[in-house]
Amino acid sequence: MTGADRIQKVLSHAGVASRREAERLLAEGRIRINGEVVRRLGTKVAPGDRLEVDGRRVRAPLAFHYLLMNKPRQAVTTRSDPQGRRTVMDLLPPLPVRVFPVGRLDYASEGLLLFTNDGDLAQALMRPAGHVTKTYRVKVRGLPEAATLERLRRPFRLEGRPTQPAEVRLQRAERNAQLIVSIAEGRRNQVREMLRRVGHPVMRLRRIAYGPLTDERLRTGAVRALRPAEIDRLRKAVGAPVVRPSTRPSRRPA
């Protein structure tokens, strides 16, 4: 840090917590600066301050790390689960820094999930204005008619506001159809809810692309480091500067 930064930004950069998680930690009184508990959202950390979360000192990361996982079904996209279910964090290899998932895939869904300790990039990717397209291969019950596919392409009203239009195409029509669905938002269970409303509930859902990232060869449950060119494409997708050589990812998790 060259100057004082908000706690949320510092924790995000350090890979300790996303900015939203940092706000929760503040509210719960789990953060200390120079030995004193802080709760105010606008609190800043200056160079030389001792920042602690749950009694553990937070230090700046040595480098940014970017990982891609092929998430299996029956894994929760959280750091821990009160029900004791397997989490995506359990599937990560040993790392020299703490990383966090960018967005989420629900318990029953599978496919590509990005992890990083680059808080600014994660925030840019999760902003609705980022327009980073997520693409899913979806097996649904029954065979949607052409009019139903057209309805899926138009906005739905979710959480009190309309969604952005989706791209939907029929990939395979057998007893139950397989669709390719692309959306530029990350509303909770958005694809599942869209298909439920048109009478074709999801049987299986796999994310096959996250923005410019794809990898059909990455086996289920596997994790690898992003390649430098992939990181640059990802940053360009949200208008961020390309990665400097000092922030290239370690090859250790590949």
Confidence bin at 252 (pLDDT 50/70/90): very low
Quick one: pLDDT at residue 29? 94
Burial of 248 (0-12, 13-18, 19+ CB in 10 A): middle
Q: Which two tokens stand for residue 168?
A: 């939907």
Q: Which two tokens stand for residue 161?
A: 């506001």
> Which CATH superfamily is 5-57 part of?
RNA-binding S4 domain (3.10.290.10)
Helix (H) or strand (E) holding 142: none
Rounded CA gap, 105 and 188, in Å?
9
The shares of helix, strand and coil residues in the chain, as percent rounded to the nearest 5, are 25, 25, 50
How many C-beta atoms surround the C-beta of residue 48 within 10 A? 7
133-210 classified as CATH 3.30.70.1560: yes
What residue ranges of the chain are covered by domains with CATH 3.10.290.10?
5-57
- 69 pLDDT more than 90: yes
The residues that are catalytic are 106
Give the closest residue to 66 by CA, choosing from 230, 239, 240, 237: 230
Kindly give the residue spans of alpha helices, DSSP state H, lying in 117-253: 119-126, 146-153, 190-197, 228-237
Mean pLDDT of 142-169: 94
Give the closest residue to 60 by CA, choosing from 126, 115, 5, 19: 5
- Measured CA angle at 27 (ends 22, 28), to 5 deg: 95
Tokens 């600066």 belong to 33
What residue ranges of the chain are covered by domains with CATH 3.30.70.1560?
133-210
Q: State pLDDT tens for residues 4-37.
A: 788 888 887 776 787 888 899 999 999 999 999 9
Q: State pLDDT tens for residues 173-225.
A: 888 999 999 998 878 899 999 999 999 999 999 999 999 999 999 999 999 99
- Write the CATH number of the domain with boundaries 66-128+212-247: 3.30.70.580
What residue ranges of the chain are covered by domains with CATH 3.30.70.580?
66-128+212-247
